[in-house]
Structure 1
Amino acid sequence: MKNIHRFLLVFFLAVSVSTVFASSDEHAEPASQETHEKEKFEPGSFIMDHIADAYDWHVFSIGDFHATMPLPVIVYSQSSGFHMFLSSNFHHGHASYKNFSIATEGEYRSKVVELVNGQEVRPFDISMTKNVVAMLISMAILLWVFISVAKAYTIRKGKAPKGMQSVMEPIILFVRDEVAKPAIGEKKYEKYMPYLLTIFFFIWLNNLMGMVPFLPGGANVTGNITITMVLALFTFAITSINANKSYWKHIVNTPGVPWWLKFPIPLMPLVEVMGVFTKPFVLMVRLFANITAGHMIVLAFVSLIFIFGQINTALGLGTSVVSVLFVVFMNLLELLVALIQAYVFTLLSALYFGMATEEEHH
């Protein structure tokens, strides 16, 4: 436990020391008053920039002054090999660094690209982006919590739960008794409990951290479709590996279906095979869409303040009252959605495991 505490302390100290205070206009020529007047607020860019992944972590802004935490950029180029540097090298007036830059438009927008023979080429990118760092922080928190709880159970064996134990035990029992057992069965549920608990707490914690507007929160982890895709693929892999003979037999030769739906055109088998792949697809899209939609709605209400403020200052101030009230309401609703989405993903995964391992009825 001391090692985990030291790791977290060193990490946040390193973050604090390496924070780069950079202004977007720091090395640019001063803009004229007329240019500032013509500058318009773009809600689309504002929303997408906040929910998208990034190579640095925005901390706060005051006017044109932006405080950001640089993150390690790690890329492999076929022409020049591995490169590792901080994302701050892309700032301070430098559009590129060692022929690498962040694309501002096109297919690779907001991604690191390399300029090769006058063309933008996407290198193999394993950078420590905002979402990656957020996942590492959430994993460190989960390890700290569960190692503490496990240690407490060892020390206080046979005694009533206390402290963190009393918080975590009802949740764990809920997942076991209300999700795993009914969906998988009394005899087989224990095998899948570690995975079900892991995805439940991982999704729930990252949903909650995504609602926190300051470091170490604010990353849109579960609103990133690549992350939800990986979680869905884990469920798909576990389902396929543990599926029994009866499960595959049902897919190939669905019982109780008229023969003319199977021969000469195997219509039902094709539908069943499609169902095997649509199940993880639904898991992926449901989590991504619900979390992203919640963030976008909140940001849209915030955008209304600036949109109406450009028309008239008083109108912007009046709109801010309504927008703030709706933002507070949406945040309260998102607290519930954060838990519901973790529960739904875990429940559906358990149902898929139960369907794949169910014995054939005669």
Structure 2
Amino acid sequence: MLVFAGFQPLAAQDEHGQEDHATEEAHGAAGHGDSACCIVEDEDHGYDPVGTVMEHIADQNEFHVWYNVHIPLPLILYAPEHGWSTFLSSKFHHGTQAVDGYVLNHGRVNRVADPSFPQGEVHIECVSHQTEMVDEKEKDVYYVCYEGTAYKLDPPSTLDGGVLGGGITSFYDFSITKNVFTMILGAIVLILLFMAVARGYKRNEGKAPSGIQSFMEPFFTFIRDEVTVPMIGEKHYERFQPFIMTLFFFVLICNLFGLIPFFPFGANVTGNLAVTLVLAVLTFIVTNINGNGHYWEHIFWMPGIPAWVKVILTPVEVLGLFIKPFSLMIRLFANISAGHIIILSLIGLIFLFGNNGESVGGAATGGIIGGLFTAFMNLIELLVAFLQAFIFAILSASYIGAAVDEGHEHHDEAHAH
């Protein structure tokens, strides 16, 4: 479930009105003819620090290894009027070819909703970026140029279906992106690791642990003794130990993989809102499904409190049900993303000080300063990787512990005395 939750896709779409509107706009752009094709508003091709950083931390449909070296990933796309399309991202030829109306734009798949655009594999001249007023707001709009005509592109398919500003699109994207690939890799690594540990426990039954078992046992005992038992209690902790352990190791392995800057690692998995959202929703579901009568009573109608105060506190407590998973989602996302942004910004000092290769001395200075600070930040990020996994696990355990706690009556009596 955790793996498939990372799919950026599943955008809702309006199959008729929205698509017709997008088609009309595309035809409007095509009416500009050659003047609308291959226009790039910013003619300065210098180093763009913000764009470079955001591109590296974003999810993509391919791994960018070095310059023009890319590792393709499987694409699984569906458009209601066209059907399924499955192929490798290498078919796009680094953005110079369209396939079934889909194009690769800055590492992500976009689609031409205009039905007049040819299907199959066709060579495109470029993907042009323009800033336009959409709903009284300035937004980046992309066009693909084919045989001198500009066709407007739909935005990438996203989990929110355009609710958070991504735009409602005409297709569904179930592709294996960098984040999904990394989560699958992490799941395989963890399965193999835990199988090796299980074999160690069977082999060394009644003996002192050895090998990988001795390495992993401190993690197991730490999570049990410092997280699940204190937060959930002796009576119930065993039921939730597997869930808390899964959360901890999943977040940890994704954090650590994100610190390794070469293929097949380097994806910003836990710095992606779709991933942290699903992890938080899982905690929310487990917590509230296992909530007992005391838990719900203290949310909807707290005992021992005047009725007029309950009217004020009950909405706050109900709101807290959703604030807790929301804070889990934002905390992990923000901390991991911030670390990646800082490291990439420090590396970018080489290009800024070197003025894009014009100043060797500046590049050397940027390399020394950026390199030293990057090494320091990597050490901090290694600590953060463990710390954020621990925080996510202990907060999840505390929410579950509050839901299954049976000592409310004793607490109420103590407060009364």
The TM-score bracket by the shorter chain reads: 0.7 to 0.9
Find the counterpart in structure 2 of residue 116 from structure 1: 114
Name the amino acid aligned to 2:79.
S
1:146 to 182, 194, 197: 194
Once residues 134 and 269 of structure 1 are traced to their aligned partners in structure 2, the CA distance between those partners, rounded to angstroms, is: 42
Find the counterpart in structure 2 of residue 165 from structure 1: 213
Once residues 134 and 112 of structure 1 are traced to their aligned partners in structure 2, the CA distance between those partners, rounded to angstroms, is: 22
Once residues 87 and 205 of structure 2 are traced to their aligned partners in structure 1, the CA distance between those partners, rounded to angstroms, is: 49
Whether the 8 Å CA contact 2:95–2:103 is kept in 1: the answer is: no
Name the amino acid aligned to 1:77.
A
Once residues 114 and 249 of structure 1 are traced to their aligned partners in structure 2, the CA distance between those partners, rounded to angstroms, is: 53
2:272 to 207, 224, 245: 224
TM-score (norm 1): 0.83
State the shift of 1:38 in Å. 5.3
State the shift of 1:115 in Å. 2.6
Whether the 8 Å CA contact 1:90–1:101 is kept in 2: the answer is: yes
State the shift of 1:215 in Å. 1.6
Bigger helix fraction: 1
- Stretch of structure 1 that moved more, 196-205 or 93-102: 93-102
Once residues 288 and 158 of structure 1 are traced to their aligned partners in structure 2, the CA distance between those partners, rounded to angstroms, is: 42
State the shift of 1:314 in Å. 1.5
TM-score (norm 2): 0.73
Within-5 A mapping of 1:337-352: 337-352=384-399
Once residues 284 and 101 of structure 1 are traced to their aligned partners in structure 2, the CA distance between those partners, rounded to angstroms, is: 31
Whether the 8 Å CA contact 1:103–1:113 is kept in 2: the answer is: no
Find the counterpart in structure 2 of residue 68 from structure 1: 70
Find the counterpart in structure 2 of residue 43 from structure 1: 49
2:224 to 154, 157, 176: 176
Find the counterpart in structure 2 of residue 328 from structure 1: 375
Once residues 93 and 268 of structure 1 are traced to their aligned partners in structure 2, the CA distance between those partners, rounded to angstroms, is: 55
Once residues 325 and 355 of structure 1 are traced to their aligned partners in structure 2, the CA distance between those partners, rounded to angstroms, is: 45
Name the amino acid aligned to 1:72.
P
Find the counterpart in structure 2 of residue 293 from structure 1: 338
State the shift of 1:267 in Å. 2.2
Once residues 349 and 146 of structure 1 are traced to their aligned partners in structure 2, the CA distance between those partners, rounded to angstroms, is: 22
When the two chains are superposed, the root-mean-square deviation of aligned CA atoms in Å is 1.7
Name the amino acid aligned to 1:71.
L
SS across alignment from 1:115:
coil
Task: Go from structure 1 to structure 2 and tell me whether the alpha carbon gap of 1:160 and 1:291 turns closer, same or farther (over 3 Å shift).
Answer: same
Once residues 90 and 244 of structure 1 are traced to their aligned partners in structure 2, the CA distance between those partners, rounded to angstroms, is: 54
Identical columns (%): 45
State the shift of 1:257 in Å. 3.8
2:245 to 191, 197, 200: 197
Once residues 369 and 302 of structure 2 are traced to their aligned partners in structure 1, the CA distance between those partners, rounded to angstroms, is: 55
SS across alignment from 2:47:
coil
For residues 126-185 of structure 1, the C-alpha deviation after alignment (integer angstroms, 9 at most, x for no partner) is 101011111111111000000011012112211111110000001100000110000000
Find the counterpart in structure 2 of residue 316 from structure 1: 363
State the shift of 1:95 in Å. 3.8
Number of aligned residue pairs = 315
Find the counterpart in structure 1 of residue 92 from structure 2: 90
SS across alignment from 2:103:
strand
For residues 27-46 of structure 1, the C-alpha deviation after alignment (integer angstroms, 9 at most, x for no partner) is xxxxxxxxxx9521000111
Name the amino acid aligned to 1:196.
I
4+ residue runs of structure 1 moved beyond 4 angstroms? none
SS across alignment from 1:275:
helix
Once residues 320 and 110 of structure 2 are traced to their aligned partners in structure 1, the CA distance between those partners, rounded to angstroms, is: 36
SS across alignment from 2:87:
strand
SS across alignment from 1:236:
helix
State the shift of 1:255 in Å. 3.3
State the shift of 1:111 in Å. 4.0
